Chain A
Amino acid sequence: MLFEPDTGWNYSIGTDVCGRLVEVLSGKSFDVFLQERLFDPLGMSDTGFSVPDDKISRFAANYSPTEDGGFELQDDPEMSTYRQHPTFLSGGAGLVSTASDYYRFGQMLLNNGTLDGNRILSRKTVELMTSNHLSGGRSISESAVPGAVAGSDMHGYGFGLGFGVLQDVGTAQIAGSPGQFYWGGAASTLFWVDPVEKMVLVFMTQLYLGELPAWQELQVLVNAAIDD
């Protein structure tokens, strides 16, 4: 390991190990567990580890930024490895989804664990997951180990159980609410849930490892639209 457990923060394959724990604890294959316990009850019909042929017409191309500020094809949907079900069911990075599906997931969390009468988690567990779990109430930036994959600039954000959690808008330098939780994907997708303002945001695009300020910009624009 890079450091003794609980002595630092580093973005990692930790969540892939969580997926394996789901298998060991439930006795089911990880994809089956997700399907039965999350995707089916939440009606997330387009969320899975692969794109079946009958949905290929809706599968986006993925791009990489070019040096001149444009982008180039990184993964063609027709030839994508996402067309095959993977052997390694990555709980950290494996899924495809849609804005509507992910919105349902986010809305379940905002509703304290329930959607359309289906309880996925207790309110207390959602509260626990969206509390800061870093030692001493520290932020991600304060906890990130030297050379961490990400997070050294995440001032004012703590980390819960699966989510970054906004602690203080002054330190984070952005409009938002304390307790707002979020994460994003390597292809520049983003979601957040703001329990104070009762908002869910899902942003989808496909720019792989792009360094866009779009996440910040969206947060400002959405907060600026609050009219009450």
Chain B
Amino acid sequence: MATGLSSERLKRIDTFLQTRYIDTGKLSGALTLVARRGEIAHFSALGNMDEERGKPTRKDTIYRIYSMTKPLTSVALMMLYEEGRFQLNDPVHKFLPEWEDTAVWVSGEHPDFKTRPQERPMTIRDLLSHQSGLTYGFTDSNAVDRTYQKLVREKMSDGSLAEGSMFMAGMPLLFSPGTAWNYSVSTDMCGYLVEVLSGQKFDEFLKERITAPLGMIDTAFSVPDDKLERFAANYSPTDDGGIELQDDPETSNYRTSPKFLAGGHGLVSTASDYYIFLKMLLNGGVSDGCRYLSRKTIELMTTNHLPDGRSISDHAVEEGWSDSIFDGTGFGLGFSVILDPATAQLASSVGQYAWGGMASTAFWVDPEEEVIVVFMTQLMPSTTYPIDRELRALVNAAIED
């Protein structure tokens, strides 16, 4: 076939997901889209999008994409970069003055932190590449993270981006900007920068400049009532290897527009919408004759931005991120980037860029093979199963030219 993908081998994806994950009750459902050279070669809906209501997965099911929001936010900010609004090495405080003197944590628990001054101010590149010193509040591993769990996440659901920024800038950084990599609320701050630089609300900017012109009609911060029937349920794993309801679509917070427009995790989307977005990136920034980014900016975004060619695992401050999953994988501006498939121990190509969401959704773009994959499911957290790696092996195995 014109895509150079074996349809027989692509069918293995369905068999694999069905027998390994769906028949065993580990996942409610899954939706996989594989495209090559601009053509969809495999688009397959398996299982249920809502177990409780017995609703089968549809090709237009709406999913919580969590951190797969980050690439859209990063693209939004880089559209403003292309207008000359900022440089990557500009200090963040040039635009958000509250970040000028943010201190670095040394010891102690909130509110009795001992801190030291930062070695240099946080830059916009630090935010886009998770080298800012910020953290997320997922783990108990350090005092800053524990404070985030208690306080920042509160602010991040009830406050505006401006309030969130003020609050976070008053908390200590986990490390001096640029000295390490840590997954963090950095991308939320990128969303706030989009607001400040463009003078538009972040959701309006995304809609006007990205989702509406691209035709990503189901991508937004909330699910309107008339789309509720397509909104998936979200699940968590149980101790016995099954799943339990984590967020019921009918009663979900996603039914109302959030106050905190989280550029790090706020969006819902569909496989088709996200594919349109990735296709634009693979096409060098163009979709249907409309230019979103220059090819050069996409090259810059999908280049490793960690110092001395380091991988995420080399540069990560947190144990959870320094494990082997991120060997041979660097980080660009909003995406992880494969530096070396052998070190990464992953069938892949140098320059392949990717990310995923907390509910086990995943995507990658392989510019060398012209492959795009979007995988949708809803199981929190994404570390439950290694589906992303398994899919990479299966999809790469289907390449037959």
Contacts and interface: CB of A to CB of B under 8 A. Distances in A.
Interface of A: 168-171, 173-177, 197, 213, 216-217, 220-221, 223-228
B296 A226 contact: yes
Interface of B: 81-84, 87-89, 125, 284, 291, 293-297, 299-300, 303-307, 332
Contact of A220 (B87, B291, B304, B307): B87
B294 A173 contact: no
Contact of A221 (B84, B293, B306): B84
A169 B291 CA distance: 22
A198 to B, nearest CB: 13
A220 B307 CA distance: 21
Contacts of B332: 170
Contacts of A174: 87-88, 300
A76 B197 CA distance: 39
Tell me which of A217, A221, A224, A227 has the highest count of chain B C-beta atoms within 10 A of its own C-beta.
A224
Contact of A223 (B125, B296, B303, B304): B296
B307 A173 contact: no
30 contacts: A169-B299, A169-B300, A169-B303, A170-B303, A170-B304, A170-B305, A170-B306, A171-B307, A173-B87, A173-B125, A174-B87, A174-B88, A175-B81, A175-B296, A175-B297, A175-B299, A216-B87, A220-B81, A220-B84, A220-B87, A223-B294, A223-B296, A223-B297, A224-B81, A224-B83, A224-B294, A224-B296, A226-B296, A228-B284, A228-B295
B86 to A, nearest CB: 9
Contacts of B304: 170
Given A217-B84, A220-B84, A220-B87, A175 B291 contact: no
A227 B296 CA distance: 9
B87 A213 contact: yes
A168 B303 contact: yes
Secondary structure call for the B interface: loop
Contact of A176 (B83, B87, B296): B296
A173 B88 contact: yes
Contacts of B303: 168-170
Nearest to B88: A173
Contacts of B81: 175, 220, 224
Nearest to B284: A228
A107 to B, nearest CB: 20
Contacts of A217: 84, 87
Which are the 7 A-B pairs with shortest beta-carbon distances? Answer: A224-B82, A223-B296, A170-B303, A173-B88, A175-B296, A170-B305, A224-B294
Nearest to A173: B88
A135 B306 CA distance: 22
Given A175-B294, A228-B295, 7 more contacts: A170-B303, A170-B306, A175-B297, A197-B296, A220-B82, A220-B84, A224-B294
Contacts, number: 58
Q: Which of A170, A171, A217 has the most CB atoms of chain B within a 10 A radius of its CB?
A: A170
B196 to A, nearest CB: 18
B310 to A, nearest CB: 11
A173 B305 contact: yes
A226 B295 contact: yes
A179 B82 CA distance: 21
A224 B297 contact: yes
A227 B297 contact: no
A177 B296 CA distance: 8
A223 B297 CA distance: 7
Q: Which residue, of B81, B87, B88, B296, has the highest number of chain A Cβ atoms within 10 A?
A: B296
Nearest to A227: B291
Nearest to A176: B296
Contacts of A228: 284, 295
Contacts of B295: 226, 228
A225 B81 CA distance: 12
A49 to B, nearest CB: 35
Nearest to A217: B84
Given A224-B294, A226-B295, A170 B300 contact: yes
Task: Tell which of A171, A174, A216, A220 has the most Cβ of chain B within 10 Å.
Answer: A220
Contacts of B89: 173
Contacts of A226: 294-296
Contacts of A169: 299-300, 303
Contacts of B82: 220-221, 224
A213 B296 CA distance: 20
B294 A227 contact: yes
A52 to B, nearest CB: 38
A171 B125 CA distance: 11
A171 B82 CA distance: 18
B90 to A, nearest CB: 8
A180 to B, nearest CB: 11
